[in-house]
Structures are given as structure tokens and as C-alpha cells.
């Protein structure tokens, strides 16, 4: 079984800019910065404008995981509402 980092960086299908990826997962591009800095996305072409940085596009399952992680907590799978009250 792959780790999340392995799935996001090795099971890739082409390339995508951070800006386009942010649009697809419906999150601000700046929220993807830590994902890039911690090497969960493989940078192919760095750019001074972060949104134009090109990364390896995650495969279907890894992409779905990434999209879920940027949803509000109550919408994430396997999150019990009772456990969310401690997060506030």
C-alpha cells in the first residue's frame, strides 16, 4: 500500500499548474503551498508566481484524497461530528 506522499508523487497522470489544481479542488492556491513544500506534490517547473508552478498531476485516487482534504471538516469522510466539537 502506498503512503499518501507516494500516491501523490508517483501515481501521476501528466502535469498541471497549481492554479488549475486549486480550481479543480475548489481551494485557494495558497492553501496548496504546504503540500508542495512538504513534497506531497512533485514540482516539475517552479515559478515565482506560485499559481503558475507546474506539478505532476495526481492520479484519480490521490486527486480524490487531495480534494477531500480541502473540504470543510464536516464534509470529510470518516470524520465523526462528535470529534469536531473538540476542534473548535
Q: How confident is the model at residue 80 (pLDDT cuts 50, 70, 90)?
A: low
Class in CATH terms, 4-84: mainly alpha
Quote the CA–CA distance of 27 and 52 in Å, as a whole number.
Answer: 15
The strand ranges marked E within 1-88 are: 12-17, 43-45, 54-58
Region 9-26: what's the mean pLDDT? Answer: 89
Region 9-35: what's the mean pLDDT? Answer: 90
As a whole number, the mean pLDDT across the chain is 81
Is the pTM value of this prediction over 0.85? no
Considering Cα of 23, then 35, then 49, then 61, what sign does the dihedral take?
negative
Residue 68 has what pLDDT? 85
Q: Order of strands, edge to edge, in the sheet holding 54-58?
A: 12-17, 54-58, 43-45
pLDDT digits (tens, 9 = 90+) for 38-66: 998 999 999 999 999 999 999 888 888 88
Q: How confident is the model at residue 71 (pLDDT cuts 50, 70, 90)?
A: confident
Amino acid at each position: 500500500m502506498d503512503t499518501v506522499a507516494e500516491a501523490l508523487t508517483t501515481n501521476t497522470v501528466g502535469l498541471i499548474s497549481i492554479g488549475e489544481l486549486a480550481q479543480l479542488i475548489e481551494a485557494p492556491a495558497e492553501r496548496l503551498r504546504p503540500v508542495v513544500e512538504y513534497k506531497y506534490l512533485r514540482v516539475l517547473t517552479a515559478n515565482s508566481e506560485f499559481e503558475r508552478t507546474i506539478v505532476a498531476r495526481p492520479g484519480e485516487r490521490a486527486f480524490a484524497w487531495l480534494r477531500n482534504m480541502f473540504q470543510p471538516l464536516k464534509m470529510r469522510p470518516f470524520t465523526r461530528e462528535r470529534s469536531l466539537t473538540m476542534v473548535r
